[in-house]
Amino acid sequence: MELSRRITGLTGGGSDGWDVYYRAREMVAEGKPVIELTIGEHDIGTDRRILDAMHAATLRGHTGYSMFHGNTNLREAVARRVTEQTGTPTSPDNVLVVPGGQAGLFATHHAACDEGDTALYIDPYYATYPGTIRGVGARAKAIAARPERVFQPDPADIAAAAPGASSLLINTPNNPTGVIYTEETLQGIARVCQEHDLWLISDEVYDTMVWRGRHVSPRTLPGMESRTLVVGSMSKSHAMTGSRIGWVIGPEEAIFHMGTLATHTTYGVAGFVQEAAVFALGQGDAFEAEIAAPFRRRRDLALEMLEGQTAARPIPADGGMYVLIDIRATGLSGEAFALRLLEEHLVAVMPGESFGQAAAGHVRVALTVEDERLTAALGLLIELATELAA
C-alpha cells in the first residue's frame, strides 16, 4: 500500500528543519547538560490560578463535547479582547476557537485556498508554514525578506509573486527574526492584497511581546477587515503552550465555514480548557505583561552581551521571545555553526536555515532559560563565533 503524496510530501522532500533540536534532545536523554535555546517554551509553567480554573471546570462537568466552533463565553471573551486591543469592532461571530495557533493556520489556509492554488508566505518563516500549506493541497511559494532590509518584507517583491496566488501568510511580531513589521510595510502589503485579491493570513501569536515600536494588526487597515484572517493563541501570551487553545478572527462567512471544518476535523476544543482560557483572559493586560516581562529583560541582556563585537551580530529584536544572530562572519552556515556549538559547547540553538533561506548564516536563540544560564550560553556562542571569524 502506498501513502498519499500529500502526507509524504509535507516537508517538500527535505528535512523538517528540526534536526539540531532532535540531536539536542538525544544528548539530553544521554544525560548531557545541554543548555536548550531551541523552541519557544516558557521556563515557567502555566500559572497555578489558570490550572486551578481548569481543574474546577472539570469538576463542574466540562468534560464532554464542546461547541465545535468554540463555546459562547470564550468567543465573547476573545472578541472583547480583540476589540479593546485593536479598536476594530469584533463580535463572537468573528471568532473561531481552535486547538492552538497551528490548527488556526491549517483552518485559514483551507478557507483561502483550493487544491492546487498558490499560497504565498514570507521567508524567514516559522518552520511549519510550508508544510501547512502543502497539507491543504496548495502550492507553497516563499518571498524573501532580506537581511539588508532588516527582514522587513518588500511589498514590491510580494506584488511580483502575487499574480495567480490566493493568499499571503505573514507573521508579526516575527518568529524567528523578532522584527515587527512597520505600518508602512503593512500598508504596502495591504495594497498588494487588495490589488491582487489575496486573502491575508496574519499570524499574531506574539502580539503581547512588543519591546520596541508598535504592533499593528493588518485587519485594522482600511479595506482589510473583509479579507484578513488573524491567527491568535494563548500559548505565548499566557504560557499555555500545552493546553492547545487559540483562535481565528475573520469575516463571519469565513468563520462559519471554518466552524464546519472544525466539525469534520478537531471536533472542538476540550470544555475545561476553554473555561480556563476564559479565566486567563479575564486577568487582563497586567497578567499578560507579567508573562512577557522575563523575555523583555533577557532580550535586553542578550543585546548588551552581543554589543561591541562583529562575529555574532544580533538582529534588533523588537518583539517575541528570540534573538536572531548573524554568524556569517564565521564562514559557516547556520546549521554547521549550530551543530558545532552543540557538540563542542553543549549549547543548542536553531539554525537560520530551519526558517528558510533568507535566514541562512544566522542562528535563532530562544530566551527561554533563566538569566544566568542564558548569559553562559551566549558567552560560549560569542567565544566560538569569535574564534571562527578570526
- pLDDT tens track for 146-173: 999 999 999 999 999 999 999 999 999 9
Instruction: Name the pLDDT band for 70 (thresholds 50, 70, 90).
Output: very high
- For residues 267 and 299, state if they share a domain: no
- Its domain, for residue 277, covers 64-283
Cell readout for 235 is 500559548
- For residues 150 and 267, state if they share a domain: yes
- For residues 220 and 241, state if they share a domain: yes
Residue 18 reports pLDDT greater than 90: no
State residue 17's pLDDT score.
Answer: 77
In a domain, 337, yes or no: yes
In a domain, 53, yes or no: no
- pLDDT tens track for 343-379: 999 999 999 999 999 999 999 999 999 999 999 999 9
In a domain, 297, yes or no: yes
Once rounded to an integer, what is the mean pLDDT over residues 235-257? 98
In a domain, 51, yes or no: no
- For residues 204 and 307, state if they share a domain: no
Nearest by Cα to 66 from 98, 92, 110, 95: 98
Residue 314 reports pLDDT greater than 90: yes
- For residues 259 and 297, state if they share a domain: no
Residue 12 reports pLDDT greater than 90: no
In a domain, 57, yes or no: no
- pLDDT tens track for 172-214: 999 999 999 999 999 999 999 999 999 999 999 999 999 999 9
Give the total number of structural domains in the chain: 2
State residue 330's pLDDT score.
Answer: 98
State residue 64's pLDDT score.
Answer: 95
Once rounded to an integer, what is the mean pLDDT over residues 277-306? 97
State residue 15's pLDDT score.
Answer: 73
Average pLDDT over the chain, rounded to whole? 96
CATH number at residue 350: 3.90.1150.10
- For residues 252 and 128, state if they share a domain: yes
- For residues 277 and 295, state if they share a domain: no
- For residues 104 and 38, state if they share a domain: no
Domain boundary pick from 255, 283, 311 = 283
- For residues 253 and 301, state if they share a domain: no
State residue 334's pLDDT score.
Answer: 97
Instruction: Name the pLDDT band for 227 (thresholds 50, 70, 90).
Output: very high
- Residue % of the chain over a pLDDT of 90: 97
State residue 89's pLDDT score.
Answer: 97
In a domain, 59, yes or no: no
- For residues 268 and 201, state if they share a domain: yes
CATH number at residue 115: 3.40.640.10
- For residues 230 and 139, state if they share a domain: yes
